[in-house]
Amino acid sequence: MPDAEPPATPLAHVMYFEPRIPGNTGSAIRLAAVTGARLHLIEPLGFDLSEAKLKRAGLDYHDLAVMDVHPSFDAALDALPTSRVFAFTTRATTRYTDVEYRPDDILLFGPEPTGLPDDVLAHPRVTGPVTIPMLPGRRSLNLTNAASIAVYEAWRQRDFAAP
- Binding region: 110, 132, 140
Report DSSP state, residue 98: G
CB 132 within 8 A of CB 141: yes
For 59: left if phi > 0, alpha if psi spans -120 to 50, otherwise beta; the answer is: left
Exposure on the CB side of residue 101, measured as CA atoms within 13 A: 29
Annotated binding residues for S-adenosyl-L-methionine: 110, 132, 140
